[in-house]
A and B are shown apart, each in its own frame.
Chain A
């Protein structure tokens, strides 16, 4: 009996680790895309890769991908981008909190409605960043700061489908 239970927990731990590995891999790719050098005119058009990937995992695996994980990814994103430590963490965490309350409904929406939700979430995320930057006296001074929300919303169907197939292919739970 005890042997069987032990086996089950072992397998669960192994599955958890495996899932985390795949999730971390997708986040790594998103981070690489975030710092990929783009031509000057395209710099502002870059979608919010890391937030989008985090939103997907928060939607698909709300039990596994919780607030703490979102906060850690936010801290790493801060270090990657050179912003104030905790800024992206706060934004990411609040967005994931919103998703964790609404994920049952969002999952059932048609794709265009999901894109709209993601667009609004990205706007809130950017608004939080804007507020933090404003509080420390360095507000982004151009309207192009908000364009990434639009591009993230537009690219959301592809990101969603890509990550969904990735999740199904590798049976990430």
Chain B
């Protein structure tokens, strides 16, 4: 009977999609079919943006230009000192004979103004296969790590945010260097540090950055700030909540990062 056949096919599809990655191609093709719908829903937001840009008064544009130039000047100055620091760092590492990282390529992408299933934390970007985006690529925004790419189609890709329950980021504390894994909760915007023993040194206000272990996320990017540490008597691990630095719910532009080449 047709129902039984389709039920079996559905279950088989779900198992294959969950456990293996053979369906990535098929999904990619179907996403290309679906993409006009996403573009149509995103179009009003883009239209408003376009109108805003083209209709704003010249006076506003001139003021904004001046402000941006001043900011750029300040950032350039800061960059100079950072370059000096970086060179010194490289020299010291060379002295210690450990590997150094050369900066990798980045690409700016925009979020499509669409909502995905409400019980997962995912977003869609407007860059895909033809921009050499790959599955597993790290996505950052201006303030910190935002997530990683989990599906790529021709001109768009899906990103799993760090606040989703399936996401886990290896982090280390900037203050003490102790390492942990920050996993998302799905429901709230906080991350939880997994399996941190009571004796580990984490305090409220500590900043956590990526540790680079697992080679998914580039090292030393801010992930979050510890917001709550609680030890329950009798439990082996502490409950540590981390508030993410990235503006996970409001960023519209993100950076896609390619892994740096490692030089020894």
Chain A residues with a Cβ under 8 A of chain B? 28, 31-32, 35-38, 40, 43-44, 46, 66-68, 71, 74-76, 79-87, 89-90, 93-94, 97, 132-133, 136, 138, 140-142, 145
Contacts and interface: CB of A to CB of B under 8 A. Distances in A.
19 contacts: A31-B34, A32-B37, A36-B115, A43-B118, A67-B3, A67-B6, A68-B6, A79-B27, A83-B120, A84-B17, A84-B18, A85-B13, A86-B13, A89-B6, A93-B3, A93-B10, A141-B165, A141-B185, A141-B187
B117 A83 contact: yes
Nearest to A138: B165
A120 B10 CA distance: 23
B115 A35 contact: yes
For B16, B26, B40, B115, which residue has the most chain A Cβ atoms within 10 angstroms?
A: B115
Interface of B: 2-3, 6-7, 9-14, 16-18, 23, 26-27, 30-31, 33-34, 37-38, 40-41, 45, 113-120, 122, 151, 158, 165-166, 185-187, 249
A133 B3 CA distance: 22
Contacts of A133: 119
Contacts of B119: 133, 138, 140-141, 145
Contact of A37 (B18, B114, B120, B186): B114
B27 A85 contact: yes
B14 A85 contact: yes
Contact of B14 (A28, A40, A87, A141): A87
Given A35-B116, A141-B187, A85 B17 contact: yes
B186 to A, nearest CB: 6
Contacts of B34: 31, 76, 79-80
A28 B37 contact: yes
A82 B187 contact: no
B40 A86 contact: no
A36 B23 CA distance: 27
A80 B7 CA distance: 20
Contacts of B16: 85
Contact of B23 (A71, A85, A89): A85
B116 A81 contact: yes
Nearest to A43: B118
Contacts of B249: 40
Given A84-B17, A86-B14, 9 more contacts: A32-B41, A35-B116, A37-B114, A75-B30, A79-B34, A82-B122, A85-B23, A86-B13, A141-B165
Given A85-B23, A86-B17, A35 B41 contact: yes
A102 to B, nearest CB: 15
User: Which of A40, A67, A86, A132 has the most C-beta atoms of chain B within 10 angstroms of its own C-beta?
Assistant: A86
B14 A35 contact: no
A66 B45 CA distance: 36
B14 A132 contact: yes
Contacts of B27: 79, 85
Given A36-B41, A85-B23, A90 B118 contact: no
Contacts of A93: 3, 6-7, 10
Contacts of A86: 9-14, 17
Nearest to A79: B30
A48 to B, nearest CB: 11
Contacts of B122: 82
